[in-house]
Amino acid sequence: MAKQVTTVSEEGFSATNEIRDFETTIDATGEDAPDTLEALLAAYASCYVPALRVGGEQRGVDDLGRVAIESTGELNDDDKLESIAFDIQVEAEVDDETAEKILDRANDLCKVHDAVKPDLHAEMTLEGDAF
């Protein structure tokens, strides 16, 4: 099985991505659409949500409820990602020990986490009973 995306840029730094029956636009300058690094952060966090939910179920928290991830990508002097951090809030009440177990399992499950180079794996915090 393979994943396929067709990316087309007619001019400039903006590109349209055809993903199955969906279309997204990414603009490297960030003027007309999310830039490439913002798109990466969004994909990473979006992938992390189901990983958290499954990790929670597998670690004794049947339903995390509402999940919110604030993603921060710090840039180096060359405007490349130097680090990523996720501040994660969940509706369910989760103690620190269980949160760590959920995060460890979510790290194993998240396909984007697996795909990014290890020094860009997000540093994470998880706050339970947040809503």
pLDDT of residue 121: 85
The model's confidence at residue 98, banded by pLDDT at 50, 70 and 90, is: very high
Q: Is the pLDDT of residue 81 over 90?
A: yes
Mean pLDDT calculated for residue range 1-19: 94
- Return the domain boundaries, the chain: 1-34, 36-127
Nearest to 87 by CA among 63, 70, 72, 108: 70
pLDDT of residue 118: 87
- pLDDT tens by residue, 37-53: 999 999 999 999 999 99
Chain-wide mean pLDDT for the chain? 95
pLDDT of residue 114: 92
CATH number for region 36-127: 3.30.300.20
The model's confidence at residue 120, banded by pLDDT at 50, 70 and 90, is: confident
pLDDT > 70 in the chain, percent: 100
The model's confidence at residue 123, banded by pLDDT at 50, 70 and 90, is: confident
pLDDT of residue 99: 97
Q: Which residue is associated with the tokens 């055809």?
A: 18
Strands (DSSP E) contained in the chain are 6-8, 14-19, 22-27, 67-75, 81-90, 123-127
Phi (first) and psi of residue 126, to 5 degrees: -130, 125
